[in-house]
């Protein structure tokens, strides 16, 4: 929107953007990028009301009492799944339909897959909203319906294009307690590696497709690189494979 010449303001309830999905280094990178492109960011700010005039929106009011004028609002605030149908069918739900690794619900005759399904992942129950997840999980659900034993073991990955920067994320960083950030080979490229103790959980690669692909392979092979190697900027991470 800002490249089209519009004044853009991002309202973020948390103290930094991307807080729910990324470490501070990744947030700071994108904060700088947006600011460089003329986008204002109001962090630690919650929307409390959209102001209307003549049937359209004309402004927004925030929890600190301040207001801004606006004529267009784009909401990206997440979703809450509608689980009424599943509830009516007597299925176990918990922010989504709870399923086993075979996509079986609490009713042995019903499977669920995709955005609506909450499934086991690294000793947690999670719900993922991505095309890759819905396709891969649907294959397992179909196998289950045909009586074949198959377990859904996802290796999640995501991407986001912001201005001329590509963010690629391999894995899920839930529960991380340590991170290492490495500069990539190209100017402006970097990657942040998330660990829980010695275990590699996820990698954010910014304009750094090479690190993304290597990280994805390491995660799929359950290969946990030593953090000290990653901290060494002269170390070629390809050697980890």
Please give the residue ranges that form the binding site for ligand FAD (CB under 6 A): 85, 114-115, 129-132, 134
Q: Of the two residues 67 and 129, which places its CB atom closer to ligand FAD in the complex?
A: 129
Q: Helix, strand, coil: what percent of the chain each, to 5?
A: 25, 30, 45
Closest residue to ligand FAD in the complex (CB): 114
Residues present in the chain in total:
241
Q: How far is the CB of 103 from ligand FAD (least distance, A)?
A: 12
Q: Of the two residues 180 and 205, which places its CB atom closer to ligand FAD in the complex?
A: 205
Q: Of the two residues 22 and 230, which places its CB atom closer to ligand FAD in the complex?
A: 22
Q: How far is the CB of 176 from ligand FAD (least distance, A)?
A: 22
Q: How far is the CB of 52 from ligand FAD (least distance, A)?
A: 24
The whole-angstrom separation of Cα 58 and Cα 49 is 11
Q: Of the two residues 135 and 241, which places its CB atom closer to ligand FAD in the complex?
A: 135
- DSSP string covering 170-231: EE--TT--EEEEEE-SSTT-EEEEEEETTEEEEEEEES-HHHHHHHHHHHHTT----HHHHH
């Amino acid at each position: 929107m800002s490249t089209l010449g519009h004044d853009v303001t991002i309202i973020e309830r948390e103290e930094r953007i991307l807080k729910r999905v990324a470490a501070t280094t990744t947030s700071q990178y994108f904060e700088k990028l947006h600011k460089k492109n003329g986008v204002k960011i109001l962090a630690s700010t919650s929307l409390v009301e959209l102001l209307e005039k003549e049937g359209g929106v004309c402004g927004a009011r925030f929890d600190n009492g301040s207001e801004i004028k606006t004529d267009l609002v784009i909401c990206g605030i997440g979703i809450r799944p509608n689980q009424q149908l599943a509830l009516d069918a007597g299925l176990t739900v918990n922010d989504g339909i709870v399923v086993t690794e075979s996509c079986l619900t609490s009713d042995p005759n019903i499977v669920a897959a995709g955005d609506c399904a909450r499934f086991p992942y690294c000793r947690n129950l999670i719900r993922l909203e991505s095309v890759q997840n819905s396709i891969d999980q649907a294959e397992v659900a179909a196998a289950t319906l045909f009586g074949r034993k198959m377990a859904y073991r996802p290796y999640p990955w995501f991407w986001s294009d912001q201005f001329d920067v590509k963010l690629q994320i391999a894995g899920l960083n839930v529960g991380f307690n340590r991170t290492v950030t490495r500069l990539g080979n190209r100017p402006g490229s970097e990657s942040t590696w998330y660990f829980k103790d010695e275990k590699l959980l996820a990698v954010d690669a910014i304009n750094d497709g090479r690190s993304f692909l290597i990280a994805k392979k390491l995660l799929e092979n359950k290969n946990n690189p030593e953090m000290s190697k990653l901290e060494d900027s002269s170390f070629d991470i390809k050697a980890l494979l």
